[in-house]
Amino acid sequence: MFKKIAKKLFGGSSIPGLSGGVFLNVRCSVCSEEFHLFINTSTDLIQHFDAQGGLSYSLKKEVVGGHCRNLIQVRMEFDGARKLLKKEIENGEFIEGP
């Protein structure tokens, strides 16, 4: 019963915030602190329109840890359907898994 209510309220996932997004795991290049982030592709992305009316999205995320205060900068590009096309990182590295 609760799953049905959650599905109606939050969409396909029974856990709020986990549908329509991308998990992003990064590690600081200075102290190796790890960050496990969730990017909500419905609310966190910036819209871009080109001259022909095409649509794309981007994200700029800055992460600062508690150990060394190194500023990690993440840039991501998405197509009009919010599908990830490209990701870049400065002062850190992408890691697999949680």
Over the stretch 27-81, which tens digit does the pLDDT of each residue have? 999 999 999 999 999 999 999 999 998 999 999 999 998 889 999 999 999 999 9
Joined together, the tokens standing for residue 89 give 């990182």
Q: DSSP character for 31?
A: T
Give residue 54's pLDDT: 92
d(CA 68, CA 32): 10
For residues 13-23, average pLDDT: 61
| CB distance 54 to 95 below 8 Å | no
d(CA 70, CA 64): 6
Give residue 22's pLDDT: 86
Joined together, the tokens standing for residue 50 give 């080109």
